[in-house]
Amino acid sequence: ERARQLLELSNNLEEGYIRMARCFEATRQKCCRLERDGRRVREQLARAEAERAALEVKLKHARNQVEVEMKKRHRAEAELEKQERKLQLVFESLMQEPWGSGEQRSVLSALAGRRLGAALAAGRRSSGVDESCQSLLSHSDISYDRTEDDV
């Protein structure tokens, strides 16, 4: 009787050990799967961070280019205003000359009317544009370093 009980106990222990070994193997396989997934996700993260850094550099370059173009535009607008003022002074001088005939004055007035009207209309249009170049994104912390994409 005692031997039979020991045999049953031995069989139960053996089945328990087999179940425990299967659980350990299933856990080991899950760990291996999780390690592979972790490596894959870390690689994706590294690629995404590298791409983000390259895009930040490109954004910095684009902002710099916009700034340069804005300065050029402001200089051109200032030069245009200067030239228009000179034209106005020449026109006023010609209109005040005593030797000019009435016909010359009317032609000059007509030309000046078209010219000054166009200049005023253009001046109104460009003054309404907000070109402050301010953004919600701060670009002071981005460097101008060249990336492989730029090269």
pLDDT tens across 88-143, in order? 998 888 878 776 667 777 777 777 776 555 554 454 444 444 555 554 445 555 55
C-alpha 91: how far from chain center: 47
Range of the domain at 22: 7-113
- What one-character-per-residue DSSP string does 99-144 give? T--HHHHHHHHHHHHHHHHHHHHHHHHHHT-------SS--TT---
Integer Cα distance of 23 and 17 in angstroms: 10
Q: Is residue 73 part of a domain?
A: yes
Integer Cα distance of 148 and 141 in angstroms: 20
Question: Can you tell me the mean pLDDT for 25-37?
Answer: 97
Q: Is residue 59 part of a domain?
A: yes
Q: How confident is the model at residue 148 (pLDDT cuts 50, 70, 90)?
A: low
Q: Is residue 21 part of a domain?
A: yes
pLDDT given for residue 65 in this prediction: 97
Interval 49-85: pLDDT, tens: 999 999 999 999 999 999 999 999 999 999 999 999 9
- pTM to 2 decimal places: 0.49
Q: Is residue 30 part of a domain?
A: yes
pLDDT given for residue 40 in this prediction: 98
pLDDT given for residue 124 in this prediction: 44
List all residues 6 or more positions away from 12 whose beta carbon is below 8 Å from its beta carbon.
none
Q: Is residue 66 part of a domain?
A: yes
Task: Kindly state the tokens that stand for 55.
Answer: 């895009």
Q: Is residue 120 within 8 Å of 113, Cβ to Cβ?
A: no
User: Comparing 64 with 15, which gets the higher pLDDT?
Assistant: 64
Please tell me the total count of domains within the chain: 1
Q: Is residue 51 part of a domain?
A: yes
Q: Is residue 62 part of a domain?
A: yes
pLDDT given for residue 100 in this prediction: 63
